[in-house]
Amino acid sequence: MAFSKLEQNILKAKGLSEDNIQALVDAGIESKQDFQTVGDAGTLAALSGLEQSVAAEVMVWAIGPQAASTTSSSSTSSASVLNPSVVVESADIVKCAHCQHRQPKDYKSGDLCVSCGRQVERFATCHWCAASGPGNFCRSCGAEFVPVADFEIAVLLKREGVAKDQIAQRVRDLSADEKDTLWGRIRSLRGHS
């Protein structure tokens, strides 16, 4: 058998039996370098009769994680379980609201994006205290910002006595017909002013 004793023991640890190792040799895979020619777990499974998950483990050992990520579509699910992709970013990272490009460490609120040239953070006006700023909440009073198109509806709800922390949710819950009704009331109030 062409595999070294150590390679045979590693293959056994990955779930192969003596018969599986012999099937690899019969298919022409006689050393760890031959797995490079095989390329991915799907091809290895087709050549040797191994299960997809076992073939994926062997390929990761033989040529690295890229073997699991380039497997055929039938083994993609097992490969993603073996090599999950987790990205952890610092809490102080700022990304452009338009193109999602990371901004430099010296970024200040109001700067333009270094990638697309648009304003990184969308600025909104608070329906509660009329202050403006970036983000999802007012930095002056803490109210949650509403979309620009719903600003006047939020102001109307404030005038009607809806609590500050309930306005944004109420606006989200409104149906199109309910919004039309409120817009009718806003237009009638403008006419009386």
CA distance 12 to 9: 5
Q: What is the count of structural domains for the chain?
A: 3
**What pLDDT does residue 78 have?**
47
35: containing domain: 5-82
Number of residues written out for the chain: 193
Q: Work out the average pLDDT over 96-113.
A: 86
pLDDT per position as a tens digit, 20-61? 888 888 888 888 888 888 888 888 888 888 888 888 888 888
**What pLDDT does residue 193 have?**
56
Angle, helix 151-159 to helix 164-173, in steps of 10 degrees: 130
pTM: 0.44
Q: Work out the average pLDDT over 58-69.
A: 74
> Could you tell me if residue 87 is inside a domain?
no
Task: For residues 153 and 129, state if they share a domain.
Answer: yes
Backbone angles phi, psi at 58, to 5 degrees: -65, -45
SS (H, E, C) the chain: CCCCHHHHHHHHHCCCCHHHHHHHHHCCCCCCCHHHHHCCHHHHHHHHCCCHHHHHHHHHHHHCCHHHHCCCHHHHHHHHHHCCCCCCCCCCCCECCCCCCECCCCCCCCCECCCCCCECCCEEECCCCCCEEECCECCCCCCECCCHHHHHHHHHHHHCCCCHHHHHHHHHHCCHHHHHHHHHHHHHHHHHC
Task: For residues 102 and 115, state if they share a domain.
Answer: yes
- Asked whether the beta carbons of 137 and 164 are under 8 A apart, the reply is no
Task: For residues 9 and 61, state if they share a domain.
Answer: yes
**What pLDDT does residue 84 have?**
63
> Could you tell me if residue 13 is inside a domain?
yes
**What pLDDT does residue 76 have?**
47
> Could you tell me if residue 63 is inside a domain?
yes
Residue 21: name the closest of 58, 74, 66, 71 by CA: 58
**What pLDDT does residue 70 have?**
45
pLDDT greater at residue 159 or residue 65: 159
Q: Work out the average pLDDT over 74-93.
A: 62
Q: Work out the average pLDDT over 106-119.
A: 86
Task: For residues 39 and 56, state if they share a domain.
Answer: yes
Task: For residues 15 and 61, state if they share a domain.
Answer: yes
